Amino acid sequence: MARYVKISSLGPAPCVIEATVPAEEAVDRMIAHWKRMLGFVLPDKPDLIVLPEACDRPSQAHYPKERRMEYYRARGDRIRDFFAETAREHGCCIVYPCHMQAEDGSWRNTAQLIDRQGKVIGAYHKNHLVPNEYNLNGILYGKDAPVFECDFGRVACAICFDLNFDELRLKYAREKPDLIVFPSMYHGGLMQSYWAYSCRAHFVGAVAGLPCTIVSPLGETVASSTNYYPYLTAAVNLDCAVVHIDENGRHFAAIKQKYGPNVSIRDPGYLGSVLISSETDAFSVRDVIAEFGLEPLDDYFARALDHRCAPGHMEP
């Protein structure tokens, strides 16, 4: 069945707060900053809002580290609670990335997922830090990469520098989330499309000061913020599957003939793969795959590898 989820992504540059501003006032200013920014997307009634990495850290160019630690002590959970209240009031999920202090006093670069009731249902700790995050700030590397179950689908997370490491990407490729959220200070360029296609997942980038994006499982950018407005809202259909044209392509005309606009077949060109989506509540994309005997892309690639290694198939 069509499974549309409306996603907002925000990427304003870090909030400028001067070092002379007292910590308590700085927290109030940060909440006011995000209340203003959320005001641009909440009228669209998104299901999910994704914020950029360390979203509540004042601009480092104006607010030095020694002041920042005082600010974090004053902040505590106040900003998280503000986002939780917003999520509860508007019935949406929010990805809240921040620097968080653990109970033992150590620090993490984290993204907390807040559900529609305002409850934190889990957190991802950045697995692959820039070394100076540890050297200069004492932030510890995360070791786990959970996939979160939301009412609209399964959500995974990568933060900034994570996008450069295959270990995390391959884990998600095995886990098959519906959506990868990417709070960041770094855009990633082609890596966004690479992750989306290799994980067969929609990808949402929320990048501070740079374009925010939604990328399809084909690696195509389907929505982007602009130089004028650092936010976007768009709906994507998570009831979809990537299949290769080989052997499947002969069925596409029959699928369209039978189901017309109730099934979308998106060909990006040059890739050899298409994205098939159900656009109706009457059946799912899996029903279409079963009915026409289509082979999902990963199954096709696995079969090709097995065929290569079959006895007598490889040169001596």
Based on the fold, state whether residues 233 and 244 are members of the same structural domain.
no
Is residue 102's pLDDT more than 90?
A: yes
Q: Identify the domain containing residue 300 by its residue range.
A: 240-309
Q: Which of 197, 214, 237 is the last residue of a domain?
A: 237
CATH of the domain at 126: 3.60.110.10
Rounded distance between C-alpha atoms, residue 116 and residue 236, angstroms: 19
Question: pTM for this structure?
Answer: 0.97
Based on the fold, state whether residues 122 and 184 are members of the same structural domain.
yes
Is residue 154's pLDDT more than 90?
A: yes
What's the structural domain count of the chain?
2
Is residue 218's pLDDT more than 90?
A: yes
Sheet-wide strand order for 93-101: 120-125, 107-114, 93-101, 48-50, 4-10, 231-237
Based on the fold, state whether residues 209 and 67 are members of the same structural domain.
yes
Any domain includes 58 = yes
Any domain includes 83 = yes
Averaged pLDDT for residues 99-104: 94
Q: Which of 213, 237, 261 is the last residue of a domain?
A: 237
Any domain includes 139 = yes
Q: Which of 195, 220, 237 is the last residue of a domain?
A: 237
Q: Write the pLDDT tens digit of every residue in 182-195.
A: 999 999 999 999 99
Based on the fold, state whether residues 232 and 178 are members of the same structural domain.
yes
Based on the fold, state whether residues 161 and 35 are members of the same structural domain.
yes
Based on the fold, state whether residues 197 and 288 are members of the same structural domain.
no
Is residue 246's pLDDT more than 90?
A: yes
Alpha-helical runs (H) found in 91-179: 131-137, 166-175
Averaged pLDDT for residues 131-150: 96
Based on the fold, state whether residues 222 and 304 are members of the same structural domain.
no
Based on the fold, state whether residues 153 and 173 are members of the same structural domain.
yes
Based on the fold, state whether residues 200 and 305 are members of the same structural domain.
no
Can you state the angle between helices 252-259 and 285-292, rounded to 10 degrees? Answer: 120
Based on the fold, state whether residues 66 and 206 are members of the same structural domain.
yes
Is residue 220's pLDDT more than 90?
A: yes
Based on the fold, state whether residues 163 and 184 are members of the same structural domain.
yes
User: What pLDDT shows up at residue 66?
Assistant: 86
Give burial (CB, 10 Å; 0-12/13-18/19+) of 208: buried
Any domain includes 315 = no
Averaged pLDDT for residues 115-138: 97
Based on the fold, state whether residues 232 and 305 are members of the same structural domain.
no
Averaged pLDDT for residues 120-139: 96
Any domain includes 316 = no
Averaged pLDDT for residues 203-213: 98
* Average pLDDT taken over every residue of the chain: 97
Any domain includes 79 = yes
Q: Write the pLDDT tens digit of every residue in 252-293.
A: 999 999 999 999 999 999 999 999 999 999 999 999 999 999
At residue 147 the predicted structure's pLDDT band, cuts being 50, 70 and 90, is very high
